[in-house]
Amino acid sequence: MKLTSKGRYAVMALVDLARFDNINPVSLRDISLRQGISLDYLEQIFSKLKKNEIVKSIRGTQGGYVLNKNPNDIKLTNIFNAVDEKVKTVQCKKESKRGCNGKATKCITHNLWDELEIHINTFFENKSLKDLINNNKETRV
């Protein structure tokens, strides 16, 4: 089970953004330089964050991105959903009664994987961008 860079970058970038957006919009270029993430890749990521109304964009010179919600209302779940970083412990469709590889029934360990998925998602639901900023301020002191 690994977390992809896309998901990791999305959170990193938003934490960076949340720290600096008090005064002016923050440009991807700045985030790219500060966090060491490819600018082109960041653009793909922010395109999705924008579609999911997590950030707003301001075009033109001195433009950039701004948070579209209170940091307290942006949960990791929202961020990961936006960039398609979903937790998948199974291959079969959830809605379907059938199991993996088109088997007629769900597998013998199916409950376990459901539990696992819930366990991980709970973590994401309980963690907001605000937690991360605060957490980091503490570290800085």
Partner DNA sequence: TCTAAACTTGACCATTTTAGTCAGGTATGT
Partner DNA sequence: ACATACCTGACTAAAATGGTCAAGTTTAGA
Residue 11 binding partner per list ligand FES, its own copies, DNA, none, with a CB distance cut-off of 5 to 8 Å that depends on partner kind: its own copies
> Residue 38's beta-bridge partner residues?
none
Exposure letters 11-26 (e unless 16+ CB within 10 A, then b): bbbbbbbbeebeeebb
* 132 to 47, 64, 82, 109: CA distances (angstroms): 22, 22, 18, 35
CB of 119 to its own copies, least distance (A): 5
CB of 42 to ligand FES, least distance (A): 16
Length of the chain: 141
Per DSSP, the three-state class of 50 is helix
Q: Which residues bind its own copies (CB under 8 A)?
A: 1-5, 7-8, 11-12, 15-16, 35-36, 85-91, 100-101, 103, 107-109, 111-113, 115-116, 119-120, 123, 127, 132, 135-136, 139
Residue 106 binding partner per list its own copies, ligand FES, DNA, none, with a CB distance cut-off of 5 to 8 Å that depends on partner kind: ligand FES
CB of 107 to ligand FES, least distance (A): 3
**Sign of CA pseudo-dihedral 92, 96, 99, 104:** negative
Residue 58 binding partner per list DNA, its own copies, ligand FES, none, with a CB distance cut-off of 5 to 8 Å that depends on partner kind: DNA
CB of 88 to its own copies, least distance (A): 4
